[in-house]
């Protein structure tokens, strides 16, 4: 992994001279990295859905299909990006991903004009060409945004912390949760002021002018490359409670692929990505059957976010102190409850159970996705290991909205999604009971 030299003539580098551990700067730039990925996240894209439908004259099913195909295609790039990250480090990889994301945002800003040029006055060809144009655009922003920038942020944070990885991941989760929950208002404000095309251009400029130089300036691969030791200067408090640290393994992606536990863990992440994205994408339709207005339907996200933040804090604190196997079992049980909530939505317990279960599982998801793979398999090949997991998560987010719509079309309700979730989460829970976790190193 290449970095600028940090020692010249035996003198200390700027990073080494800082009065605090540079890992805290990594927390800051990692949080900015995930915030920068918002244009490529589902909640960012959803704000522009109606704009694409109206400006390109395509149906909601067509835009959903383009989103699914583009996202699925981007999922195949995640392992490649992970390998590239392992070779080049976060500085180069983040810069490349930021430039690519900005390019595709500009591409989407001018998508209507591009369509007009390609159609050449033949409206009958507009629908198919628009579908292709949107698939390409979704592929670009999902690959660089949700895929690359998110993976880089979490993987780099994992390289800079060990015994404090859980709590720093929790801080990262809280910052990004607040940002994600507020982002739709900001994006809608940009649309109202500059139109949708202007909003895309504004986001591209912010990425290039603000985040790109900061990522080049602040990202560093790991403490060793800067002449530091892991968590140098951070006091270790010796407490009576047992602390859980990394296993000490440094496995390659080939070795990890041969371990059944890895695929069970990846399966838990992939399922929640599928289920949560499907639920989010169709939230208005899900609640409309209960006579709930769209405004009331989306209001459920605020209490879910509050529970998610509390869950993130708890799981991040606990991940440094108890075995991951216990946290994963709690996480999968919370996704099981989320599935059950889809079956009892019209009962008095339906909404409270939905808020609690989706909030808990969301908090667990963010923390465990950040801490699990470096803790179990090491950080030397974390890009490739996390990249493969990210591809499954991205694929799940692509299939979720489509699968929910297919079930609704076939059965007339969303209840079958609950049955599907109960079956899958039960199988995953059994897998966690049967397949052991590698032993963690512990100290008193």
Q: How confident is the model at residue 236 (pLDDT cuts 50, 70, 90)?
A: low
Higher pLDDT: 429 or 15? It is 429
Task: Give me the torsion for CA of 72, 355, 326, 35, rounded to 10°.
Answer: 50
pLDDT in tens, 117-139: 887 765 555 678 889 999 999 99
Higher pLDDT: 106 or 146? It is 106
pLDDT in tens, 53-68: 888 888 777 887 888 8
pLDDT at 5 over 50: no
pLDDT in tens, 300-355: 777 888 898 889 888 888 887 788 899 999 999 999 999 999 998 888 888 899 99
pLDDT in tens, 384-416: 888 888 888 888 888 888 888 888 878 888 889
Query: pLDDT at position 367, please?
Result: 87
Task: Give me the torsion for CA of 212, 215, 218, 222, rounded to 10°.
Answer: -160
Query: pLDDT at position 30, please?
Result: 93
Q: What is the mean pLDDT of the chain?
A: 84
- pTM metric for this prediction: 0.76
Query: pLDDT at position 229, please?
Result: 86
Name residue, tokens 């139109």.
195
Higher pLDDT: 294 or 443? It is 294
Query: pLDDT at position 127, please?
Result: 78
Residue 244 φ then ψ, to 5°? -110, 120
How is residue 297 written in tokens? 């339907």
Top-confidence range, 117-121, 164-168, 197-201, 294-298: 197-201
Complete domains list, the chain, with CATH: 11-227 (1.20.1250.20), 237-444 (1.20.1250.20)
pLDDT at 9 over 50: no
Quick check: 157 and 28 in contact, CB under 8 A? no
Q: How confident is the model at residue 245 (pLDDT cuts 50, 70, 90)?
A: low
Rg (CA), the chain: 22
Query: pLDDT at position 309, please?
Result: 86
HEC secondary structure over 43-70: HHHHHHHHHHHHHHCCCHHHHHHHHHHH
Query: pLDDT at position 244, please?
Result: 61
Q: How confident is the model at residue 140 (pLDDT cuts 50, 70, 90)?
A: very high
* Cross-strand bridge partners of residue 11: 8
Spatial separation of the C-alpha atoms in residues 129 and 116, rounded to whole Å: 10
pLDDT at 240 over 50: no
Share of the chain above pLDDT 90, in %: 35
Query: pLDDT at position 166, please?
Result: 75
Query: pLDDT at position 442, please?
Result: 45
Q: Which of 97, 203, 114, 211 is nearest to 150 (CA)?
A: 97
Spatial separation of the C-alpha atoms in residues 20 and 267, rounded to whole Å: 38
């Amino acid at each position: 992994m290449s970095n600028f030299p940090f020692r010249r003539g035996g003198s200390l580098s700027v990073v080494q001279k800082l009065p605090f551990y540079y890992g805290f700067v990594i927390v800051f730039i990692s949080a900015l990295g995930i915030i920068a990925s918002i244009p490529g996240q589902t909640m960012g894209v959803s704000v522009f859905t109606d704009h694409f439908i109206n400006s390109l004259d395509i149906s909601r099913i067509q835009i959903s299909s383009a989103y699914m195909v583009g996202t699925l295609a981007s999922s195949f790039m995640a392992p490649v990006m992970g390998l590239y990250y392992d070779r080049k480090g976060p500085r180069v990889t983040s810069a490349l991903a930021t430039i690519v994301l900005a390019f595709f945002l500009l591409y989407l800003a001018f998508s209507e004009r591009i369509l007009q040029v390609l159609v050449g006055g033949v409206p009958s060809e507009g629908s198919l060409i628009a579908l292709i144009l949107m698939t390409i655009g979704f592929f670009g922003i999902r690959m660089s945004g949700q895929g690359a920038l998110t993976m880089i942020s979490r993987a780099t944070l994992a390289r800079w912390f060990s015994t404090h990885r859980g709590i720093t991941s929790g801080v990262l989760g809280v910052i990004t949760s607040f940002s994600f929950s507020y982002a739709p208002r900001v994006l809608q404000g940009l649309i109202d002021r500059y139109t949708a095309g202007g909003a895309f251009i504004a986001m591209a400029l912010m990425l290039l002018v603000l985040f790109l130089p900061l990522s080049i300036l602040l990202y560093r691969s790991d403490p060793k490359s800067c002449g530091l030791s892991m968590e140098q200067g951070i006091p270790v408090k010796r407490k009576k409670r047992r602390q859980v640290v990394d296993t000490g393994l440094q496995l390659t992606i080939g070795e990890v692929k041969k371990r059944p536990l890895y695929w069970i863990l990846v399966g838990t992440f992939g399922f929640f990505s599928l289920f949560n994205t499907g639920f989010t994408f169709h939230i208005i339709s899900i609640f409309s059957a209960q006579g709930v207005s769209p405004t009331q339907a989306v209001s459920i996200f605020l209490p879910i976010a509050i529970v998610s933040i509390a869950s993130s804090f708890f799981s991040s604190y606990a991940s440094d102190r108890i075995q991951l196997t216990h946290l994963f079992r709690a996480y999968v049980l919370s996704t099981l409850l989320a599935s059950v909530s889809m079956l009892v939505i019209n009962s008095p317990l339906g909404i409270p159970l939905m808020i609690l279960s989706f909030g808990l599982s969301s908090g667990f998801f963010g923390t465990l996705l950040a801490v699990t793979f470096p803790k179990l398999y090491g950080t030397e090949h974390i890009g490739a290991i996390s990249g493969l997991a990210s591809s499954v998560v991205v694929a799940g987010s692509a299939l979720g909205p489509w699968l929910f719509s297919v079930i609704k079309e076939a059965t007339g309700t969303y209840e079958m999604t609950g049955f599907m979730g109960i079956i899958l989460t039960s199988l995953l829970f059994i897998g966690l009971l049967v397949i052991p976790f590698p032993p963690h190193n512990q100290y008193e």
